């Protein structure tokens, strides 16, 4: 649009504003203009947060539609204050601004359309689990069960192999203890990928059944949260017809496959067996037929999953990731949490013990969120839990409970919003990933109920400034000033792969960012056709980023990044 055309268009609109202003109040005129003249499609959710980003980043915290409305209202108010030359000049500038903002709106439409097209391409491709669906294996007898590999407060996990796929013999398995001994002796620790899982590629989780009876229906209803990450063929068809009421009285949602979320391949009920270590590790939960003093029921739920070498906590005990590797690990947790939030799931017990870890072909850690026994999985996807009684379960680990959850007081009409609670937990776990103690474990002393943001310990100087900014934002007490997992993930994506696209960003710079997105899409698609590299951690992350593109989320992430870099530079200058 030429400047001459913009001025003429603006003057025409300005005259109509003046004429309408003689008859209607300024508020109604502004509302009419916003609603009729500058409608740009369905309303979008407001960018967040608005509270603490300075005004110079207003482009990144409000949509162009909002800017147009602000400009119109300001111009209208000034235009009616008198007929002096100064006011006429202001009114002319208003007309020019409106004309130019229309061009920006058109650019905004094109950028949004491009993001939607990219999103459609990568969502169509989806994520395929590396394990093929098992068409059989709905009985405990179908599996060879090995040693115990984990135990929690409500289940024990054993390594396993399917009877129809017997284990390979003479395969050596190294342990985390061996890795730690090598490290203490000064040797470079071996990668956990050397630990062969060919003997037992599966893991079976045996739930402990205290409260439910021994009927399959009662077991599935009382433990339905464990089935949230279950695949479409996890239950036998006749079991799928059972109404799984669950803890919250609704049918729990099923989360679709994602590289950073565990997948339950098979789920069935069976009699509790006497497995290795049962009498020593958990005698009280055994049924009376196996232990006369046991309190458990005869039958329980079994879940079949992929076997992973270790948990995130175990890995971090023997290894400290580098700056890029650590950034990728935090990013994977954010992608997993965002995937859950988009499908109406709040994990509510996120900690390093509930994150499994394996390695891709490039020896990069791949993180997988597991253990959904405490999750909130309501059918309305609201991620809001009515908190009208002290008996309502807030979630799992109290140490990593977000402030808005930990400080909630029960009462009539009180609701706990979990939409950003898991993202807060990722911020706390990030300290562990970068080699420090989690500041919210009791040994360190901070409590999520009462901490001040100034009390958060400093991260190591080797941690990239953008990553430090993301972690600090995630640990903001006020959830309205905390980015969502999607926005925080976008910040890390842009920091890792889009630094050049962010150079010299201004209100018109989003076009450069969209151009970069198109190039990035082509690169990722070519990698996907290029063999093993397309199945690596970085390729998976890039596909996840492109499959969830949203212009408003992207714009908010850019604003956060620029603000964080400015703050970091100010700290360096003052030091």
Q: Tens digits of per-residue pLDDT, 191-235?
A: 444 445 778 999 999 999 987 788 888 888 888 889 999 988 888
Out of 450, 485, 520, pick the residue that ends a domain.
Answer: 485
Q: Which residues contact 9 (CB under 8 A, 6 or more apart)?
A: 1, 95, 98, 99, 102
Inside any domain, residue 543: no
Sign, Cα dihedral of 223, 226, 228, 234:
negative
- How many CA atoms lie less than 13 Å away from 66 in the CB half-sphere? 13
pLDDT band with cut points at 50, 70 and 90 for residue 170: very low
- Lookup result for tokens 């005698």: 283
How much is the pLDDT for 218? 85
Inside any domain, residue 452: yes
Inside any domain, residue 183: no
Same structural domain, 151 and 248: yes
Give the active site residue among 245, 271, 338, 349: 349
- Which candidate, 385, 381, 389, 335, places its Cα nearest to that of 537? 335
pLDDT band with cut points at 50, 70 and 90 for residue 34: very low
- Number of domains the chain is built from: 3
pLDDT band with cut points at 50, 70 and 90 for residue 443: low
| Range of weakest confidence among 40-44, 102-106, 539-543, 552-556 | 40-44
CATH code of the domain containing 402: 1.10.510.10
How much is the pLDDT for 229? 94
Inside any domain, residue 559: no
Inside any domain, residue 180: no
Same structural domain, 290 and 322: no
Mean of the pLDDT values across residues 291-319?
93
Q: How far is the C-alpha of 391 from the C-alpha of 399, rounded, in Å?
A: 19
| Range of weakest confidence among 5-9, 138-142, 329-333, 414-418 | 5-9
Same structural domain, 319 and 279: no
Same structural domain, 244 and 362: no
- Which candidate, 260, 426, 261, 419, places its Cα nearest to that of 330? 426
Same structural domain, 318 and 398: yes
Q: Does residue 178 carry a pLDDT above 50? A: no
- Which candidate, 259, 277, 278, 206, places its Cα nearest to that of 366? 259
Same structural domain, 374 and 398: yes
Q: How far is the C-alpha of 133 from the C-alpha of 54, rounded, in Å?
A: 51
How much is the pLDDT for 215? 85
Inside any domain, residue 389: yes
Assigned token pair, 122: 């990568």
Cis peptide before 377 (omega within 30 of 0): no
How much is the pLDDT for 49? 44
- Of residues 574 and 59, which shows the higher confidence score? 574
Mean of the pLDDT values across residues 479-485?
94
pTM score of the predicted model: 0.80
Inside any domain, residue 299: yes
Out of 456, 485, 514, pick the residue that ends a domain.
Answer: 485
Q: How far is the C-alpha of 570 from the C-alpha of 575, rounded, in Å?
A: 9
Q: Determine contact, residues 88/128, Cβ cutoff 8 Å.
A: no
Inside any domain, residue 257: yes
Known catalytic residue at 245: no
Same structural domain, 156 and 253: yes
Same structural domain, 151 and 49: no
Residue-range definition of the domain harbouring residue 469: 310-485
Among 5-14, 116-125, 374-383, 453-462, the range of highest mean pLDDT: 453-462
Q: How far is the C-alpha of 114 from the C-alpha of 553, rounded, in Å?
A: 14
CATH code of the domain containing 254: 3.30.200.20
Read off the pLDDT of residues 386-441 as tens digits, 9 standing for 90 and up.
999 999 999 888 889 999 999 999 999 999 999 999 999 999 999 999 999 999 98
Same structural domain, 62 and 42: yes
Same structural domain, 32 and 83: yes
pLDDT band with cut points at 50, 70 and 90 for residue 89: low
Q: Does residue 85 carry a pLDDT above 90? A: no
Q: Does residue 31 carry a pLDDT above 80? A: no
Per DSSP, what are the bridge partners of residue 202?
Answer: 160, 306
Out of 485, 519, 552, pick the residue that ends a domain.
Answer: 485
Same structural domain, 275 and 342: no
Residue-wise over 148-175: b if at least 16 C-beta within 10 A, else e? bbbeeebbbbbbbbbeeeebeeeeeeee
Read off the pLDDT of residues 35-51 as tens digits, 9 standing for 90 and up.
444 343 333 343 344 44
Same structural domain, 8 and 152: no
How much is the pLDDT for 7? 54
pLDDT band with cut points at 50, 70 and 90 for residue 184: very low
Read off the pLDDT of residues 231-256 as tens digits, 9 standing for 90 and up.
888 887 655 554 444 444 445 678 89
CA R_g for the chain: 28
């Amino acid at each position: 649009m030429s400047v001459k055309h913009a001025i003429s268009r603006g003057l025409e609109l300005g005259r109509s504003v003046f004429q309408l202003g003689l008859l209607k109040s300024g508020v109604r005129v502004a509302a009419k203009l916003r609603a009729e003249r500058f409608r740009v499609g369905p309303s979008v959710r407001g960018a967040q947060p608005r509270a603490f980003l300075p005004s110079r980043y207003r482009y990144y915290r409000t949509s162009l539609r909002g800017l147009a409305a602000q400009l119109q209202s300001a111009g209208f108010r000034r235009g009616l204050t008198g007929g002096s030359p100064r006011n006429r000049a202001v009114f002319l500038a208003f007309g020019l601004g409106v004309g130019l903002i229309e061009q920006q709106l058109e650019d905004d439409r094109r950028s949004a359309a491009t993001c939607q097209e990219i999103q459609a391409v990568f969502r169509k491709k989806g994520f395929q689990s590396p394990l093929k669906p098992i068409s059989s294996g709905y009985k405990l007898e179908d599996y060879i069960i090995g040693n115990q590999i984990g135990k929690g407060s409500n289940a024990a996990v054993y390594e396993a192999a399917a009877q129809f796929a017997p284990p390979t013999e003479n395969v050596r398995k190294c342990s985390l203890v061996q890795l730690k001994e090598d490290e203490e002796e000064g040797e470079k620790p071996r990668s956990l990928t050397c630990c062969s899982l060919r003997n037992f590629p599966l893991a079976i989780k045996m739930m402990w059944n205290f409260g439910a009876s021994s009927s399959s229906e009662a077991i599935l209803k009382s433990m339905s949260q464990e089935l949230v990450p279950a695949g479409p063929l996890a239950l036998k068809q006749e079991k799928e017809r059972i109404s799984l009421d669950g803890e919250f009285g609704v049918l729990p949602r099923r989360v679709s496959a994602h590289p950073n979320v565990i997948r339950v391949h098979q789920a069935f009920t069976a009699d509790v067996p006497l497995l290795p270590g049962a009498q020593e590790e958990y005698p009280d939960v055994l049924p009376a037929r196996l232990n006369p003093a046991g309190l458990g029921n005869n039958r329980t739920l079994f879940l079949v999953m992929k076997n992973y070498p270790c948990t995130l906590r175990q890995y971090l005990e023997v290894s400290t990731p580098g700056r890029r590797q650590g950034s990728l690990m935090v990013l994977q947790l954010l992608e997993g949490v965002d995937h859950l939030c988009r499908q109406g799931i709040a994990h509510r017990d996120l900690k390093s013990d509930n994150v499994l870890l394996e390695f891709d072909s490039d020896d990069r850690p791949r993180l997988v969120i597991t253990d959904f026994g405490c999750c909130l999985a309501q059918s309305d996807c609201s991620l809001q839990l009515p908190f009208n009684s002290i008996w309502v379960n807030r979630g799992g680990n109290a140490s990593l409970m977000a402030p808005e959850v930990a400080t909630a007081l029960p009462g009539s009409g009180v609701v706990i919003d979990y939409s950003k609670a898991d993202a807060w937990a990722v911020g706390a776990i990030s300290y562990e990933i970068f080699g420090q103690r989690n500041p919210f474990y009791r040994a360190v002393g901070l409590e999520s109920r009462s901490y001040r943001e100034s009390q958060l310990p400093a991260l190591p100087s080797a941690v990239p400034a953008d990553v430090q900014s993301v972690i600090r934002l995630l640990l903001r007490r006020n959830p309205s000033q905390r980015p969502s997992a999607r926005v925080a993930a976008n910040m890390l994506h842009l920091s890792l792969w889009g630094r050049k696209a962010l150079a010299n960003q201004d209100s018109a710079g989003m076009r450069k960012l969209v151009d970069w997105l198109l190039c990035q899409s082509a690169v990722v698609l070519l990698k996907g056709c290029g063999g093993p590299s397309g199945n690596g951690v970085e390729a998976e992350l890039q596909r996840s980023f492109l499959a969830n593109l949203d212009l408003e989320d992207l714009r908010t992430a850019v604003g956060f990044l620029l603000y964080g870099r400015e703050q970091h530079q100010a700290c360096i200058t003052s030091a």
